[in-house]
Amino acid sequence: MSQARKGGGGGKGPPKDKNEDGKDKESKEKVPSKDKEETASNADSEETIPKPQSAGVTTRDAAQKVLVLCQKGEWAPIDQVLKSMEKAIANAGEDANTVPLAGVLDLATGMTPLMYAVKDNRTSLLDKMIDLGSDVSARNNDNYNVLHIAGMYSREDVVKLLLGKRGVDPFSTGGSRQQTAVHLVASRQTGTATAILRALLAAAGKDIRLKPDGRGKIPLLLAVEAGNQSMCRELLSSQTADQLKSASANGDTALHLAARRRDIDMVRILVDYGTSVDLQNGEGQTALHIAAAEGDEILVKYFYGVRASASITDNQDRTPMHLAAEYGHANIIELLVDKFKASIFERTKDGSTLMHIASLNGHADCAMMLFKKGVYLHMPNKDGARSIHTAAKYGHIGIINTLLQKGEKVDVTTNENYTALHIAVEAGKPLVVETLLGYGADVHIQGGKLRETALHIAARVKDGDKCALMLLKSGAGPNITTDDGQTPVHVAAKYGNLHTLLLLLDDGGDPQFKNKNAETPLHLACRGCRPDVVRHLINYIKQNKGNEVAAQYVNEVNDNNESALHYACAVTKEEVDVPLADKEVVRLLLENGADVNLLSKHAHETCFHYVAVSGNNDVLMAMISHMSNTDMQKALNKQSAIGWTPLSIASHKGHTEFVNNLLTNHARVDVFDTEGRSALHLAAEKGFLKVCDLLLTHKAFINSKSRVGRTALHLAAMNGYTHLVKFLIKDHNAVIDILTLRKQTPLHLAAGAGQIEVCKLLLELGANIDATDDMGQKPIHAAAQNNFSEVTQLFLQQHPSLVMATTKDGNTCAHIAAAQGSVTVIEELMKFDRQGVITARNKLTDATPLQIAAEGGHSEVVKALVRAGASCTDENKSGFTAVHLAAKNGHGQVLEVLRSTNTLRIVSKKLGVTALHIAAYFGQADTVRELLTHIPGTVKSEPPSGASLVPTLGNESGMTSLHLASFSGNENVVRLLLNSAGVQVDAASHENGYNPLHLACFGGHTTVVGLLLSRSAELLESHDKHGRRGLHIAATHGHYQMVEVLLGQGAEINATDKNGWTPLHYASRAGCFDVVKLLTESGASPKSETNLGAAPIWFAASEGHNDVLEYLLTKEHDTHTLMEDRRFVYNLMVCSKNHNNRPMEEFVLVSPAPVDTAAKLSNILIVLSNKEKERAKDLIAAGKHCEYMATELLALAAGSESAGRILTATDRRNVEFLDVLIENEQKEVIAHTVVQRYLQVKKW
């Protein structure tokens, strides 16, 4: 009770901290002061005019007095005050305030008089206070009502009294944890609290047992945490199973909480009530896990008695045994092994064994016990680490000694080839290192991705000098390299470990050794900004090898020809840990002969270029201070491979102070790079106004142009630097409409980049809104092309007529926006001229914006234009409407938009085809499928009024979509159409009578032909209006595989068309050698003649196909008939002329009587020369060649046969050969010795 009186706050629980006592003290101090004020006030009023008080005033004052007395805990006078209040109310009649305590509360704590009375168990006052208006549902500043306070502090009678009052809800929650009165009672540790709980449960019902608080805990869990056994029994008297399974936010059940408290009596109660001993919490742990971790032997033994499982693993695959090993409870491990028969070979998720865990935590006794129990020493985890590695990492020497004494190998490695020595050095454990070296650890083993030794690791870790010293004394080599060629000296220099470096140098470490990038330790020390290391490295070389070698050492370069000074200059101020360390490094290098003019290999940059990148002023000034004016000017204006000087780089990086220092030291502003850019261009491109100001102050030319004609103003405008644009124009008079090589103004570039603020500024300053570039584009076109609607709107507000402005390629802004799919730009344009936008046509292609949007698949643009009234039936110059273009490119979303316009079935006037034809021709299978729901597959094309869709077919009409799909060879589309209702596979076109098979043969689409023939084998013999079959067409176009397929399907090889042409005729005329050969070898007759008597060989000669001609000459042919055809002879001469007379010679030699053929052919050619004046010379030459052949052939023949037999032989006219020679005027032949000798003999 005394405790309750001291607490004036009545907060979240029983008063137990000084804050609440402090608040109570403050409230007690405030009340007397208030009384004094009231007394003083009363005294003043008594001195003035006395005024009688009303009943209302009296009760209000009394109510405040009740509050003050409650705060003080002075309960005796309170009863009297309450009685006087009741009397005053009774005497006041109907106008009296019957609830004077309503709203009365302590503003500091929110406590009402009723709350104070409940907290102090003043049962006799409660009814009176409630009757006088004290609210039972009111809440204090901690969000507790009177029932919550009663649950925390009061007796059973108070709780029962409150539960009987109207408005008191046992289910209401309060406090920061959102707890009911049952939760609050459950947290109490007194024995009397159980009776209160029983009263609350009777009033609330059994379901309140399962209501969780704000932290997810039901009352049972709170009772377990409080250790109140009688309360737990009361709660478990109903809904037992559900309560025992209920868990807190982290998954702990009542059993887990009891185990954490090591409360075996509570555990027994819970087990007796039927809880499962193997329940797992959020971490996957059972109560046995917790008991094992706590080392509670009594509890573990109890769990053995109730048959708890020791093999259950938690979320990290740990059994209770693992946790016992982790916390070093050897007795628990032994108990688990002996009693529970738990496996000592269980492993965690990362593959760690019990030995790993014991080693990790340094429990030597556990390790020894585990070893005795048979745990394997050599078992690695997933990383390949054994127990010795784990112990080495955490510095457990006792474990290491135990492991090594039991047979573990000191040099055993992990998956990455790290030994325990590596790991101990990495972890900074010198005692472990000493122990391992004592057991003979190999100091030269290399591990990790870079293959580093333990000495390398000691060189890079902080305070690694102790380990390094031990390693060096144990024979570690200071010059052993890793895979990237770094020695421990490199590593120590890089990480600035001076003590380790000195040890390495004293032990023979080579400071001049280069790694695989040709870097010395000095390079790495400079890059790491380590002045002490740099000083000692240079001094070491000086002392051991002299000043000259030291100067060479300072200027050693890497593979990219970078010196240590380059590395030092690359250090930024942010990378400098010690103030002025960077400056000190550079000073040391320069004082020891560093060359500032060395150029890097590829970029040809000096150290001044490098320092310009880093913007390090201290380094720059340190370098300048060591140079003469002449050398300084040369160095500062040196250009790199791309023409950049240090000033160019610094300007590009925006290093204002650095730029100022360069300019102060006479860096030139008129140096241009390989792209014609000066420092001003580079600064403007990045928007560095202060840098630009410095450059212009030092006479940089404001209007200088790069190679593409861009000025600083162009670059600033393009990148949106409004302040810089204004600065350049207003302060330095930059030409506002200056042109690039493409005749673009700054306004063009700003508009194209969407820089609206820059555009506004340029227009305000007088930029020309109508300026056109070399493509005829104005700034508004550039904005439209890049989808910048706000910029477009800005221009249109200035000049609405720009809506219809066109470029050289005939596009308006609407065309450009439609092509880019820019809905917002289109909508802006239509606000200014809707009709002009939707009807605009490109001057070259006659395309409308709607057509361009449809072609590009921009459905939203199409929707906007259609909604605005754009015509869907307009055709472009090629005859395509918007629907056709969408179908051509397979834009289903666009077609869906256009479907609402009822134009899907429209026929192009110029092309004569529907969208279905177009989609089929261009192989858009999905589009064809969609369009077939709107357009029948049987629809035929109409005669085109303009250019044909398929130039090869000319003005062909009457074609279905299957015709066009077959012509294009779109297998999927053909299959789709063949499965469509009503489609006729043998439908013929109007002009030429082509069916789909014929058109498939045009393109040589064998798969399509296979599909068509599978539907109708009769197609194989079908012919067009000219009598041509598929084989004729395939042969005409030289489709070898198609011819092969058709022949394989049984096509008639010698079928003729209406002109008597066979496939071989067509192939010969087309010069398709492979097809000619295939047809001939497959049985085609080379002697077959057309209605005009022409054989295939005639066409080969006519068209000049020499390879076909020569091949057919080897096949059966009628030599005499061919010679009688003067056109053939003429064509044969033409072929021979181009091929060194070979065709003519072949023709003669393969004939039945070569000498006769040569003689007659010679005469024919000579006679032809009289008629064909244009080729008379060639004909005569061919005739002479044939005469020469006749002479040679006769001489050869006479050698094997007598000349008489040959000369007296007769041709098919029964004329002797000698007469043939005379008849054909073969003088050279007759004059030959053989003939003359024969004539002499005959004369005699």
**pTM: predicted TM-score of the whole model, two decimal places:** 0.67
Dihedral angle of Cα 891, 896, 899, 903, to the nearest 10 degrees: -10
- As a whole number, mean pLDDT of residues 334-355 equals 73
pLDDT at position 372 is 66
pLDDT at 370: 65
Residue 437 confidence (pLDDT) above 90 = yes
Instruction: Please give the pLDDT value at position 13.
Output: 40
Give the model's pLDDT for residue 411: 93
CB contact at 8 A, 148 and 118: no
Q: What are 268-309's pLDDT values in tens digits?
A: 999 999 999 999 999 999 999 999 989 899 999 999 899 999
- Alpha-carbon distance of 916 to 964, in angstroms, equals 10
Mean pLDDT, residues 594-617: 95
Report whether pLDDT(659) > 60: yes
Q: What is the pLDDT of residues 1212-1240, one digit of tens each?
A: 788 877 777 878 777 777 777 777 777 77
Mean pLDDT of the chain: 87
Does the structure show a pLDDT above 70 at 711? yes
- Coil, helix or strand at residue 514: coil
pLDDT at 343 > cutoff 70: no
Q: What is the pLDDT of residues 610-653, one digit of tens each?
A: 999 999 999 999 999 989 889 999 999 999 999 999 999 999 99
Lowest model confidence (mean pLDDT) among 361-370, 541-550, 1228-1237: 361-370
User: Does pLDDT of 1243 surpass 60?
Assistant: no
Does 48 score more than 60 pLDDT? no
Closest alpha carbon to 391 in 383, 400, 382: 400
- Local confidence band at 40 (pLDDT 50, 70, 90 cut-offs): very low
Rounded Cα distance, 393 and 56, in Å:
81
For the segment 938-992, what is each residue's pLDDT rounded down to a tens digit?
A: 999 999 987 888 888 888 999 999 999 999 999 999 999 998 888 889 999 999 9
Q: Tokens at residue 189, please?
A: 């540790």
With H, G, I as helix, E, B as strand and everything else as coil, classify residue 825. helix
Judge contact between 1131 and 1195, C-beta under 8 A: no
Q: Would the pLDDT of 56 be above 60?
A: no
**What secondary structure letter does DSSP report for 93?**
G
**288 contacts 253 by C-beta, under 8 angstroms:** no
What mean pLDDT is predicted for residues 879-892?
93
Place of tokens 């449960």: 201
Between 602 and 1218, the higher pLDDT residue: 602
Q: Quick one: angle between helices 264-272 and 297-305, nearest 10?
A: 20
Whole-angstrom distance, CA of residue 1043 vs CA of residue 1082: 11
DSSP 737-802: T---TT---HHHHHHHTT-HHHHHHHHHTT--TT---TTS--HHHHHHHTT-HHHHHHHHHH-GGG
Count other Cβ atoms within 10 Å, centred on residue 742.
13
Query: Taking 70 as the threshold, does the pLDDT of residue 46 lie above it?
Result: no
Q: Looking at per-residue confidence, does 993 or 10 come out higher?
A: 993
Min mean pLDDT across 420-434, 612-626, 994-1008, 1203-1217 is at 1203-1217
CA end-to-end span of the chain = 174
In this predicted structure, what is the pLDDT of residue 37? 38
pLDDT tens sequence across 1037-1057: 999 999 999 999 999 999 999
Token pair recorded at residue 941: 């094309």
Q: How many CB atoms lie within 10 A of CB 602?
A: 10
Cα-only R_g, the chain: 54
pLDDT at 134 over 80: yes
Span 847-862, mean pLDDT?
93
pLDDT score for 29: 37
Instruction: Give the least confident one: 30-39, 801-810, 1027-1036, 1217-1226.
Output: 30-39
- Cα angle 1066, 1072, 1074 (rounded to 5 degrees) comes to 120
Q: Which domains does the chain have, with CATH numbers?
A: 1-168 (1.25.40.20), 777-906 (1.25.40.20), 1118-1244 (no CATH)
Distance CA 995, CA 1001 (A): 10
1200 pLDDT higher than 70:
no
Q: What is the pLDDT of residue 1239?
A: 73
pLDDT, position 4 = 34
| Burial category of 249 from C-beta neighbours within 10 Å (exposed 0-12, middle 13-18, buried 19 and up) | exposed
Of all residues in the chain, the percent with pLDDT exceeding 90 is 61
Give the model's pLDDT for residue 360: 66
pLDDT at 406: 82
The predicted structure's pLDDT at residue 317? 82
| Residues paired with residue 1023 on neighbouring β-strands, in sequence order | 1029
Residue 561 to residue 776: CA distance in whole angstroms: 50
Residues 6+ apart with CB under 8 A from 611: 569, 570, 619, 620, 623, 646
Residues 137-162 have a mean pLDDT of: 91
Read off the pLDDT of residues 1057-1082 as tens digits, 9 standing for 90 and up. Answer: 999 999 999 999 999 999 999 999 99
Higher pLDDT, 29 or 441: 441
Residues 6 or more apart in contact with residue 403 via CB below 8 angstroms: 359, 367, 377, 387, 388, 391
> How far apart, in whole angstroms, are the C-alpha atoms of residue 606 and residue 359?
55
Partners of 1029 in beta bridges: 1023
